[in-house]
Every structure is written in structure tokens, then in C-alpha cells.
Amino acid sequence: MTESTIWWLLAGGAVAAELLTGTFFLLMISIGMAAAALAAHFGATIVLQLLVAAVIGGSAVVGCYLVKKRRPSDPSVRADRSVSLDVGETVLIEEWNADGTATVKYRGANWTVIQRPGSAPSAGLHRVAELVGNRLLVDKI
């Protein structure tokens, strides 16, 4: 079996493992293995093949990591209106308790309301920003 065939089998194995685990980084490593297979096709030595696999695969992993890190994270599911229809609704808070919570009548039931950290509690209309467990996190309107 030639060296290039071994590299192609390793790359295919990494792709199969990526499909089973869902880690995108294995796909980047398989790109490095495919580059090493191409280097073997062109007659590179085993040391050069290993170097090509390490540099290309490692660079792809680092590049993928940096791109993923630079993107803004997905908003919290708890604050997504398509998941919770309560997000964006308004509630009237008449008074706040000493512990920073309030109780409001909303959708025919009593709900515990909490203020976003760093905001001073004040009475009046508030908009539901997200659900935290069974509490409504609200912002002053």
C-alpha cells in the first residue's frame, strides 16, 4: 500500500469520525491529511508529508477557532421570541420587594419578576426580556 493511500484512508477515517462526533475540528485535521496525501502523490518524503499534514491541519484548526471566536455568540434561547412567546410582552409592576423581586399577575397567574442586574427597581411598565427558570427578567420601558 502506498503512502498516499494510507493518508487518504486516514483522512477518510477523520471525516467519518467527524460525522459521528460532530466536531468540526476533525474535518480541519482531515484537510491536513489530504494535503499530506497530495504531497505523497508528488513524491515528498515521509518527513515532509508529516510536516505538511501538521502545518495545514494545524493552521486550519487555528483558523477555524479564531473565526468561531470572533463571531458573536448566539443569543440566549431564553430571550428568543420564537421559543417563548412571553418575551417582548409588557407587565405592570406596582412595587418591588426588598429582595429585588416583584410579583405580577400575568396570563392569569402570579409570576415572580426580577430586574436585569445593574438596573434599579422602579414601579411602572416593564418589558419581558427573557425567562430565567420560572421567573420573568424584565427591563423598564
* Domain termination site, one of 70, 95, 114: 70
- Of the three residues 48, 70, 92, the one that is the final residue of a domain is 70
Is pLDDT above 70 for 78? no
pTM of the full predicted structure? 0.55
101 and 65: one domain?
no
**Could you give phi then psi for residue 132, rounded to 5 degrees?**
-115, 100
Q: Which domain holds residue 90?
A: 77-140
Q: Domain check: are 104 and 83 in the same one?
A: yes
83 CB-near residues (< 8 Å, 6+ apart): 77
* Cell 455568540 sits on residue: 73
Inter-residue contact 114 to 138 (CB < 8 Å): yes
Dist CA 14 CA 119 (whole Å): 49
**pLDDT above 90 as % of the chain:** 49
The verdict on 94 and 65 lying in the same domain is no
Last residue of a domain, one of 44, 70, 96: 70
**Residue 56 confidence (pLDDT) above 90:** yes
**Residue 92 predicted with pLDDT over 70:** yes
Q: Are residues 9 and 66 in the same domain?
A: yes
CATH number at residue 112: 2.40.50.140
Number of domains, the chain: 2
